[in-house]
Structure 1
């Protein structure tokens, strides 16, 4: 029986690579993004695409209902849509912070609410939530982004404890830095969020330099697509999935030795 996956945010990066990889592995792939013009080639390859805004309930509902009507089941949901709203906590407008939560947390929660009844009815399903190593490690300027990913981790763990009796599992993938436009977008947002004559201008410069230094753990979107697939198909799923031992190690240090992590961050920022 052909399996069915729903993926949010498939116009670029990891989401796009995941849509292609799952299709190659024989899945029926349903997905969307706000930039529907970037989905034409995916549609030509047999991926079921549509305009999708995870903050719009009607848009989300249409994707879920379409997959169920055409395939009769949903095996996997990958909550990939997200972005980085970087900037000093003091200066990022609260409405921007709320938008970050709307996309990165509540967007995932909304589509999951629509998918779960079908998964419970069929007695199986896998929800793969794309978080970040930033749920545990941190740097200046990423406060709101990191907070959304930490929230997503806890939300996923609680959800897993609730849906496991129905044969459904909720797991987390924590990518590190990727070779994508993510960092550029995050720092473009940081620059926009600086007020005139901001006292944090030097912090922005040093944080950008920090990210430029950390290239040893970079993965391609295609690398992460394979991690998504493993998280979606493991017979005995793990709570967390990482691309590399380096990513996993950084999370371990930040959680188990927070003072050591803070000391290393301070050294790198000098």
Structure 2
């Protein structure tokens, strides 16, 4: 019997790279993908198979010879007050964070159904605790979770598990990308405090406990190898508590917390 195979999107850095390494160390055949495969040179050197894959286009997965797990990790955060976010940037946010996993899932599901495999997608605490200056990103992750809830039910009789891994703040290059997205906007004076908070943000990381890419990768791997994985897998007790509280805390209380943050 050949080693199990995993496909990881967005493996050029951060969570995706850590995930590819985690599966490789466990003896899986790793198909690591990114828009620019030259960004995956170190994974190639380690023995991973690397491929070009842009989740905003229909993928060609003909390189696969069986698939046991799909990890949807590719994504980014379009930050900025919603009034300042042009519609085309909102579309781009959803094209990557929602339509991207949808495209890759559609292409990978025949192989996953044959193997009785697992879809693991990286979501975020932001899907449950939306906050000022991140409405586009939070909405894309909330939509991803609804998408996967429906897909989980649709695939129940076909033997495919669907899991959402939910980290809070993560120590990756995500913040640098966020800074670039903010810099591309035309800021309104009315939201100076929102921009200032995101440019020098430390509060949410301290509140929820910033985790590492390796810890998220461990959660992804645990979901992939579990015979009966949970529908959602929060990373860390703080995130688990925050998601639980978000179901019961009145909206007015949550808004008071935003004022404090």
Q: Give the match for residue 241 of structure 1.
A: 233
2:155 is paired with a residue whose SS is helix
Q: How large is the Cα RMSD of the aligned pairs?
A: 1.4
Q: CA deviation at 1:138?
A: 1.8
Residues 23-50 of structure 1, C-alpha deviations (whole Å, 9 max, x = no match): 0001000021123222111101110102
Q: Give the match for residue 16 of structure 1.
A: 17
Q: Give the match for residue 256 of structure 1.
A: 248
Q: CA deviation at 1:187?
A: 3.0
Instruction: Please say if 1:201 is aligned against 2:199.
Output: no
Q: CA deviation at 1:123?
A: 5.0
Q: Give the match for residue 94 of structure 2.
A: 101
Q: Give the match for residue 135 of structure 1.
A: 127
Q: Which moved more, 1:185-194 or 1:86-95?
A: 185-194
Q: Distance in 1 between matches of 2:93 and 2:179?
A: 15
Give the number of equivalent residue pairs: 257
Q: Is the CA contact 1:87–1:191 (under 8 Å) kept in the aligned structure 2?
A: no
Match of 1:110 among 103, 106, 113: 103
1:199 is paired with a residue whose SS is helix
Residues 121-180 of structure 1, C-alpha deviations (whole Å, 9 max, x = no match): x25010001110000012211101100000000111100000010110111011110111
Q: How does 1:79-228 map to 2 (within 5 A)?
A: 79-120=72-113, 122-195=114-187, 198-209=189-200, 211-216=201-206, 217-228=209-220
Q: Distance in 2 between matches of 1:96 and 1:214?
A: 24
Q: Which moved more, 1:242-251 or 1:15-24?
A: 242-251
Q: CA deviation at 1:19?
A: 0.3
Q: CA deviation at 1:200?
A: 1.6
Q: Distance in 1 between matches of 2:130 and 2:199?
A: 13
Q: CA deviation at 1:207?
A: 3.8
Runs (4+) off by over 3 Å: none
Q: Is the CA contact 1:88–1:190 (under 8 Å) kept in the aligned structure 2?
A: no
Q: Give the match for residue 78 of structure 1.
A: 71
Residues 168-207 of structure 1, C-alpha deviations (whole Å, 9 max, x = no match): 0111011110111212311331232134x53222221134
Structure 2 alignment gaps of length 5 or more: none
Q: Distance in 1 between matches of 2:250 and 2:28?
A: 41
**TM-score, length-normalised on structure 1?**
0.91
